[in-house]
Structure 1
Amino acid sequence: MKRIESIDIVRGIVMIIMALDHVRDLMHENSISQIPTDLNTTTPFLFFTRWITHLCAPIFVFLAGSSVFLSLKNNNDLKTTKQLLLKRGLWLLLLEFTIVNFAIFFDIRFHTLIVEVIASIGLGFIILSLLLKLSAKAIGYIGLAIIFCHNLLPIIPLAEHSLIRTLLAPLFSPTLIPFLPGRVLIIGYPPIPWLGIIFLGYACGHFFTLQSHKKPKLFLKVGLGALILFVTIRFINIYGDNGIWAPQKNGLFTFLSFMDVSKYPPSLLFCLVTLGIMFLLLAVAEKLPKDIQKITMVYGKVPLFYFVLHFYLIHIITLVMLFMQGIQWSEFEFAKGTFGRPKGIETGLSLGSIYLVWVFVVLTLYKPCQWFGNYKATHKKWWLKYI
C-alpha cells in the first residue's frame, strides 16, 4: 500500500511533540507534585507545554483507525484484515503491559500496571475487527455517538458504590484497581471514549482516498467546523467537559481556563479542539517546506518503534540526571510510580532545561528511525507488520 504522506507528516509532528510531554513528566522539577494545568499553581509556559501535547494521543488513535480503513481498501480482504487486526490488537495489549510499562516505571516487579494509549489502540483494533462487516458510515456514527454522548454518564444519578457504577467506571473514566497485594492496575485511558475516536478515524479514512486537490479543502472545512463547535459549546459552559471555565485573575488565565479541557477521559470538547487542529494540520501537511516534510515523515513512518525507543531513552536520561544530582542508587524508588525519583528529595530540571533534553531526545532518535523506516520499506518479514 502506498503510504499517505499527509498521515506520516502529521503523525510525525505529534510524535515529536509527544516526547516533550514525557520528558516533562519524568524529569521536570515539579512533575511529581504539581498538575501543570492547575490554574492555582501553574504558569502560562508550563500550562501550554502540557496543553500542546494533548494533541498527541487523539491524533495517534484517530490516524490508527484511518490506517485500518486504508489497509482494508487496499487489500479488499475482510478476513485477512480482521485476523491481522485481532493479532495486532492482542500484541499491543501484551506490549503495553510488558515492554511499555517497564519503560515507564523501570520497575522489574511491576507494582503498577497502567493502561495508556498503546493498550487503547490495541483494544480499539480488537473491537474494530469485530465490526468490519458494518459499513464505515455506521462505524463512524457509533464513534460520533460515543464522543458526543459519553459525557452524559456523570449526569446519570447512580449511587456512589452501586454495582452499575462500579462496572461502568473503568470503561468510561480513569480508575485505580488493586489486583494483588501491593499491586495496582491504573486505567488511565478508559476504553469507551477512545473507541469513539478510533471508530471516527476509521470512518474518515475515505477522506484520504479523495483526489489530491479535494483533500485540503475538505480537511480545512472539517477542522474549522470542529473548532467553531468547540468554541460555541465551551462558551455556553454547560456540557461537553468535566469542568467549566470561569473568569480568573486576568485575561490570560481566563483564556487558560477556557482551554483547560479534560483528557482523562477525553471529553467532547477535548476531542473537538484536538481533532479540529489535526484536520488543519492535514490540510497544510503536504504544503509545508520539503525539509520539514522529510524530517517529520522519518518519525511518522515508524510510530511504534519510536514510541518504545523514546521512553527508554528518556528514562535512562532521567536516571543519569538523578545520579548527577547526587541521588544514590539505594535512594531510587521504582515501585511507587515516581520513575525512580525519591519522594521528599528535590530532584528534576527547570522547564527551560526540559526543552533542551526534548530536542536532544528527538535528534538522537532521528537516525535509528530513519534506518528502521528504510528497513521496513525494503523487507517483507512478517513481524514487521507488528512494529
Structure 2
Amino acid sequence: MVIKKIVGIYALLIGENCYLIGMNTTMASPLTAAAPPVAKTRIVSIDILRGAVMIIMALDHVRDYFSTATGDPTDLHSTTPLLFFTRWITHFCAPTFVFLSGVSAYIAGRRRTRPELGSFLMTRGAWLVLIEVSLVTLGWTFDPAYHVIIFQVIWAIGWSMIILGLLARLSPALIPFVGVLLVAGHNATDYFPHNGPAWDILLTSPPTFIGYAPHRGFFDLYAILPWTGVMLMGYSIGRWFTPDYPAEQRRKLLLRAGFAVTALFILLRFINGYGDRSPWSVQSSPLYTVLSFVNTTKYPPSLLYLCMTLGPVLILLALTEKAKGAFVSVIQVYGRVPFFYYVIHLYLIHFCCAVLFFVSGYGFKDAFDPHSPGPFLFRRSDLGFGLGGVYLVWLFVVFVLYFPSKWYDRYKRVHNKWWFSYI
C-alpha cells in the first residue's frame, strides 16, 4: 500500500496527457467544430512503437550510468560493433517519441476548436519545459542545487508544442510546409558559422554547456527547431489515424512513405553530400564500413539521421497495426504511459547507480567525479560494468518499471480525471 501511494503521488505530480507525450486516442469531430463525446479507441501500432522505444531508451540511459566504456560509443576508432549497436539502436527513440507526439496532437485537436487546441498545446508545452528543467533535470543529476540544468527531449517536445500551438491558431495550412522546411532544410546551417547560444539552442546545438554563473549553466543537447520539424511532420499525417480514415489505405500510405523515406536516406547517404555534416567512408572492414554508413548525426538531428530512423518507424506503424499476443500486450503497457515511465525510469536508474556508489565504499565527499561522463552525482568513472552487466541492469530496470506502469495504466482506465490532460 505504501508503494502504491508513492506511485500515486508521482502520478499526480507529473501527470500525463496521453495525446501529447502519451496517447489516449479519444476521437471526435473536426477541428473547427465543437466535439461531441465519443467512445475511446486505441491505435495499437502507436502504443506498440512508443512502448518499444521507451524500453530501448532505458538501455542507453543505463549505459550512461553503468558502462565502464569510455569515449563516444559511435567513434569507429575506439568502439566495438556491439557497443556501437547498443548506442545506435537507441537513435530510433527520440524521433519516434517526437513524431508520435505530433500524430497525437492532431488527434487531440479533433475534439477541440482551433483556438482551444492552440491554447492547450502552448499550455501543455510550457508545462513540459518546466518539468524538464525541474523534475527531469533532478532525476538526471540528483543535484538539489541545480548547478547544471539539462535541456533534452522533453525540453524539445515542450517548445515544439508551443510552436505547433501557435501555428494551429494562426494557420494550420502552414504546418506541413514548415515541417518539411525544418527537417529537409535544417542542414543548410552546416554551411554557416555558429552564432552564439541562441543559435545553438534553436538550430545547431551539439552537446553544449552554456554558463550563466560560476559553476552553473545549461547543458543543451536538443536544438529546438529541427525537432519541431519532426513534430510538425507527425501532425501532418495525423489524419491517417482518425476513425473515419480507411485502415487499409492508412497501411498502404505508411508503407509507401516509409520505404520512400528509407530509400531517400540510402540515396543521399551514398552520394555523401547534403544531409549530414559527418560523411561516411570506407573502413578497414566491410562491417565497419556499414557502421560508418549508418553513423549519422543526432546532435542536432540531421536530415539523414531522421530519414534513417523515421523511415523504418513508418513501416513498423503499418506492420504492427494488427499485432496481438502476450508480448505485444506487455509492450503496450509501457507505450500507454510513456511520460510517467520516462520520469520514474530516470530516478530508478540513478538510484541504482547511487546504491552501487555507496556499496563500493564511497561517501558523499566523492559524489561528484570530474571525470564522469556528465554532471551526474554518484556516477564514478571507475565504477560500472561491461556491456553484459549493462544489459542485465537494463533488463532489471525494465522489469521493475512494468509494475508501476501497469498500475498507472489501470488507474487511468478506471478514473476519468480532468488533470490527465493538463497536469
So what's the TM-score if we normalise by structure 2? Answer: 0.85
Rounded Cα–Cα distance in structure 1 between residues aligned with 2:418 and 2:71: 44
Q: Give the alignment partner of residue 90 of structure 2, picking from 34, 41, 53.
A: 53
Query: CA offsets per residue over residues 26-79 of structure 1, 9 Å max, x none?
Result: 11112xx31110001100000010000000001100111111100111x14223
Q: Give the alignment partner of residue 28 of structure 1, picking from 67, 79, 89.
A: 67
Alpha-carbon distance, 1:21 to partner: 0.7
Say whether residues 1:355 and 2:386 are aligned partners. no
Residues 331 and 342, structure 1, Cα contact 8 Å, conserved in 2: no
Residues 28 and 351, structure 1, Cα contact 8 Å, conserved in 2: yes
Rounded Cα–Cα distance in structure 2 between residues aligned with 1:135 and 1:4: 27
Rounded Cα–Cα distance in structure 2 between residues aligned with 1:216 and 1:363: 32
Partner SS, residue 42 of structure 1: coil
Partner SS, residue 384 of structure 2: coil
Alpha-carbon distance, 1:361 to partner: 0.8
Alpha-carbon distance, 1:106 to partner: 0.6
Any stretches of 5+ residues in structure 1 without a counterpart? none
Alpha-carbon distance, 1:201 to partner: 0.8
Distance 1:285 1:134, change over 3 A: farther
Query: CA offsets per residue over residues 306-362 of structure 1, 9 Å max, x none?
Result: 00010000001111122333333321217883423466x521111011111111111
Partner SS, residue 149 of structure 2: strand
Query: CA offsets per residue over residues 3-38 of structure 1, 9 Å max, x none?
Result: 2221111101110111111101111112xx311100
- Other-structure match for 2:45: 6
Query: CA offsets per residue over residues 226-265 of structure 1, 9 Å max, x none?
Result: 1110000000001111200011110000110000000000
Q: Give the alignment partner of residue 77 of structure 2, picking from 33, 40, 55.
A: 40
- Other-structure match for 2:227: 194
Alpha-carbon distance, 1:168 to partner: 2.1
Residues 170 and 187, structure 1, Cα contact 8 Å, conserved in 2: yes
Say whether residues 1:168 and 2:199 are aligned partners. yes
Alpha-carbon distance, 1:137 to partner: 4.9
Partner SS, residue 419 of structure 2: helix
Residues 142 and 377, structure 2, Cα contact 8 Å, conserved in 1: yes
Residues 132 and 151, structure 2, Cα contact 8 Å, conserved in 1: yes
Say whether residues 1:370 and 2:409 are aligned partners. no
Q: Give the alignment partner of residue 320 of structure 1, picking from 355, 364, 367.
A: 355
Higher helix share: 1
Query: CA offsets per residue over residues 276-304 of structure 1, 9 Å max, x none?
Result: 11111101112334223211111111111
Rounded Cα–Cα distance in structure 2 between residues aligned with 1:289 and 1:5: 9
Q: Indicate the RMSD between aligned Cα atoms, in angstroms.
A: 1.8
Partner SS, residue 262 of structure 1: coil
- Other-structure match for 1:290: 325
Partner SS, residue 178 of structure 1: strand
More divergent stretch after superposition (365-374 vs 42-51): 365-374
Residues 189 and 204, structure 2, Cα contact 8 Å, conserved in 1: no
Rounded Cα–Cα distance in structure 1 between residues aligned with 2:400 and 2:320: 24
Distance 1:18 1:299, change over 3 A: same
Say whether residues 1:90 and 2:126 are aligned partners. yes
Q: What is the correspondence of 1:1-387 to structure 2 with a 5 Å cutoff?
A: 1=26, 2-30=41-69, 33-73=70-110, 75-133=111-169, 136-156=172-192, 158=193, 164=195, 167-174=198-205, 175-209=208-242, 210-333=245-368, 337-341=374-378, 346-386=382-422
Residues 285 and 293, structure 1, Cα contact 8 Å, conserved in 2: no
Residues 106 and 334, structure 1, Cα contact 8 Å, conserved in 2: no
Alpha-carbon distance, 1:379 to partner: 1.6
Letter in structure 2 aligned against 1:270 = Y
Letter in structure 1 aligned against 2:167 = L
Residues 137 and 203, structure 1, Cα contact 8 Å, conserved in 2: no
Residues 226 and 301, structure 2, Cα contact 8 Å, conserved in 1: yes
Letter in structure 2 aligned against 1:217 = K
Rounded Cα–Cα distance in structure 2 between residues aligned with 1:319 and 1:185: 23
Q: Quick one: percent identity of the two aligned structures?
A: 43
